[in-house]
Amino acid sequence: MEQVFVKNYTLPDLETWVESIGEARFRARQLFRHIYSRRIHSWSECSDLSKMFRVQLEFGAHLNALKMVEKLEASDDTVKYLFGLHDGQFIESVLIPDPPRCTLCISSQAGCSFQCKFCLTGALGFKRNLSTAEIIDQICQVQQDQGARRRITNIVFMGMGEPLANYASVLQAIRIMVDPNGLAFSHRRITLSTVGLVPQLRRLGKESPVNLAISLHASDDALRSELMPINRKYPLPELLSACREYPLPPRKRITFEYILLDGINDSPKQARELVRILHGVRAKVNLIPFNPANPDFGSGYRRPSEGRILAFQEVLQRAQLTAMIRQSRGTDIGAACGQLVARSSG
């Protein structure tokens, strides 16, 4: 029997698979409960399944798609996990406790092909897309590791890679996350961040009501194209048009992420231009002061002074635009925004 990664499957897919190996469809619901509610470590723990079925699972189904290689804890309680994939690639996930919330930042690709100039992950280049099982297993293994100490309450697709460039696997993973028989997260607790792949963005709005975050980082096309090459393909007018047309549920807004780079995109004039281009979008802005890069990569960018950060925020707030300054977490273990490079500290 060909081995499968069961965390690739939604419940209907799993029902089809268990029938294909001669078991009743209701066994799929039992398996879902064992995997996602009981968070088992091995098939031998499934005592309500027949011995023959457990043997079939041992030889025909991979329970885990990842291997935990390293775990680092920061001074602010942020935890970074390094996972090995079956083909020798690596990814990272970051757990951010902020009681009563506990957010897990997950990866959707090994590496990234979009080469945003301020992001270390892009310097790795693109290795491959993650499977649905590799996306889901980040949540399962981190929750297993944390046990009763912390319960993951929120999921953000803000780790390595561009989620909308791996659309099918990411959407399948979201279906498992929100399934009451699966991970049972609310759509309101899941946020997908994208550099702005407009066709997939329009499709997402029709297929899933998860929270949307746009990596913007500039208020004009020339600068955004310099910082984010994807802007040459999908420039700001096209991206913002898709955002204005995005089917938002009541009381929900699109988050625009804006990394502040000293002397580059942090002037009051650029803040006023940001207000202008977001007109007509149900928006809020997350201002992210630049996290200094690993010296091995040396981006040359700097964090603005506190005064420049607050002045930028004030322009947005004066225009009645919600603008929060995101406090970076896990900087001492290379776990902050733009710092993930998927390599061992040893």
Contact criterion met (CB below 8 Å) for 221 and 241: no
Catalytic residue among 112, 116, 119, 337: 337
Count the alpha carbons within 13 Å of 331 in the hemisphere toward its beta carbon.
9
For residue 33, give the CATH number of its domain: 1.10.150.530
Q: Same structural domain for residues 245 and 328?
A: yes
Question: What domain range is 189 assigned to?
Answer: 67-333
Q: Which CATH number characterizes residue 90's domain?
A: 3.20.20.70
Q: Are 258 and 217 in contact (CB under 8 A)?
A: yes
CA–CA gap between residue 195 and residue 82 (Å, rounded): 24
In one-letter notation, the amino acid at residue 161 is: G
Residue 101 region by backbone torsions, left for phi larger than 0, else alpha for psi between -120 and 50, else beta: beta
Identify the CA nearest to 157 among candidates 130, 203, 117, 190. 190
Number of structural domains found in the chain:
2
Whether 92 is a known active-site residue: answer yes
> Does some domain include residue 240?
yes
For residue 88, what pLDDT is reported? Answer: 94
Whether residue 136 is contained in a domain is answered as yes
List the catalytic residue out of 92, 134, 162, 257. Answer: 92
Kindly state whether residues 85 and 139 are assigned to the same domain: yes
pLDDT digits (tens, 9 = 90+) for 137-183: 999 999 999 998 999 999 999 999 999 999 999 999 999 999 999 99
Q: 308: which residues sit within 8 A by CB, 6+ positions away?
A: 260, 262, 266
Quote the CA–CA distance of 296 and 120 in Å, as a whole number: 10
Task: Report if residue 302 sits inside a domain.
Answer: yes
pLDDT tier for residue 341 given thresholds of 50, 70 and 90: low
Q: What is the Cα–Cα distance from 90 to 49, expressed in whole angstroms?
A: 34
**337 is known as an active-site residue:** yes
Among candidates 279, 231, 286, 229, which has minimal Cα distance to 257?
Answer: 286
Residues 226 and 275 in one domain: yes
Range of lowest pLDDT (112-126, 211-225, 304-318): 112-126
Helix axes 268-277, 306-318, angle to 10 degrees: 30
How confident is the model over 34-50, as pLDDT tens digits? 999 999 999 999 999 99
What is the identity of the amino acid at 255? T
User: What is the rounded distance in angstroms from the CA atom of residue 160 to the CA atom of residue 69?
Assistant: 17
The Cα–Cα gap between 299 and 291 comes to: 11
One domain, residues 128 and 41: no
